[in-house]
Structures are given as C-alpha cells and as structure tokens.
Structure 1
Amino acid sequence: MALQHAVSGERIALQRGEDDIANFTSIALIKTDHMELIRLVVPVDKPMPEHRVEGEITLLCLEGEIAFEAHGRTTILQPNEMVYLAGGEPHAIGAKKDAVALLTILLHPGDNSGGPTHK
C-alpha cells in the first residue's frame, strides 16, 4: 500500500504516537517535485550515521534533544530550535533525549530521490 501524503490545505498532526520512539516511526508527510517534509523520530539508542542529502535541509526540534553533527562540530537542538544545512554537506543526527523533529528537504527540480546517500 502506498503512503498517503498530505495534500494542499490539509491539516497535519505532528505529535508522536505512544510507540513511535520504540519503533523509530518516521514518516514522510508531504512530497512534491521541490520538497519533502518528514516527521523524524530519533530515539537515544538509534542515531542516524553520517550521510548526505543532495538538497538543502532544515531540521526543527519539536520534542526531546537532538545532537546535529556537521561542519566538524555538534549543535544541540532543544524544542523550538532549528538548524539549516546546505545541500550535499555530510551530517549525522542523534538524540541526547528521545526526540521528534520536522525535517524539510528541498529537492532539485526533476530529482525526487531526496533520500540520504551514506558516505
């Protein structure tokens, strides 16, 4: 069954479910030709290893505490703090406390891959 993405004007709930942290339940909320919006769940014990994304990204911490590694340093994000990263920059994401974030990836026209490329 194909994942249903939100359509223009549709309300999107960002709160996590009871089992999201235990099951690493991240979900692509919206995907268009130009951007992808993902509710990202990052448990403390399941960091994302270093990877690259071709498009520019923003990562907004909604809950918990995120350790974002890029440019040779670690930035700690608390709820309502965000970081921007240029496309193609290697980065890693971990959680100091179980976390939920909103990840936006700007896709290049005609490039719908948007997915990470591990270094």
Structure 2
Amino acid sequence: MKKASLVNDLQYNENKPAVQVLLDTDTSREIRIAMRKGHVMKEHKTPYPIVVEIFEGEISFGVHGESYKLKKGDLVYLEGNVPHDLRAEKDSTIRLTLTKADTAERVKGVADNS
C-alpha cells in the first residue's frame, strides 16, 4: 500500500505553479499542482491521456479555443495530443493523473516555462 495526501505539506510557489509527485505506482503517477490565483500553465500537450481533478479552488481550462470553468470536485479526461492550458481563478489544488509512460519532469517543465 502507498499513501499520500492532497492537503498535507501543501506549498505554493510565488510566481509559478508548484508541482509535486504524490504517488508513483506501477501503472500511474499522481501529481499535485498548487496554483495561486492568476498562475497559468501555458498551452501544452502530452502524448498520453490524462485525468485532471479540481480538488480545491477554480480554474479556467482551455481546450480547442474554448475555455471551461472547472471548480472543486470537477474531473476532466483528456486524450493525448490535445493542446490545453490552465489559469487559476482562485488559489487551487489540482490532482493530475498521468500514465506511467508520462513523466512528472514534463509537467514541471510546463510549470517552469509558463
């Protein structure tokens, strides 16, 4: 058994989203992204499917030129190779599920370059 928490040791960065691996299993990676209001993750894509959960807060999630307001409790599944972007409308905690083939370093790179 592996255990992690979306709320314990939550840390925000001042100028960019904070990315932390919570669980690394045989089949997936569970990532926590902490975004202050106004933080963005510029348009990016991954070759693999992802699941995004808004654990706390509210974000604008852009896909195919449309912006969707996602709030606490919302889940989004996105196929691979779909460009998307995020903007925190409130301080937000986001759970991102990656396939094992994807990397947390890619997500950190997106956050660092946004």
Q: Unpaired segments of 5 or more residues in structure 2?
A: none
Number of equivalenced pairs: 107
CA deviation after TM superposition for structure 1 residue 53, in Å: 1.0
**Comparing both structures, which one devotes a greater share of its residues to helix?**
2
Corresponding residue number in structure 2 for 1:70 = 63
| Superposed CA RMSD | 2.4
* 1:41 has 2:72 as partner: no
Percent identical pairs in the alignment equals 28
Q: Unpaired segments of 5 or more residues in structure 1?
A: 1-8
Corresponding residue number in structure 2 for 1:92 = 85
Matches of 1:112 and 1:86, distance apart in 2 = 13
CA deviation after TM superposition for structure 1 residue 73, in Å: 0.8
CA deviation after TM superposition for structure 1 residue 54, in Å: 1.3
TM (normalized to structure 2)? Answer: 0.78
* 1:51 has 2:69 as partner: no
TM (normalized to structure 1)? Answer: 0.75
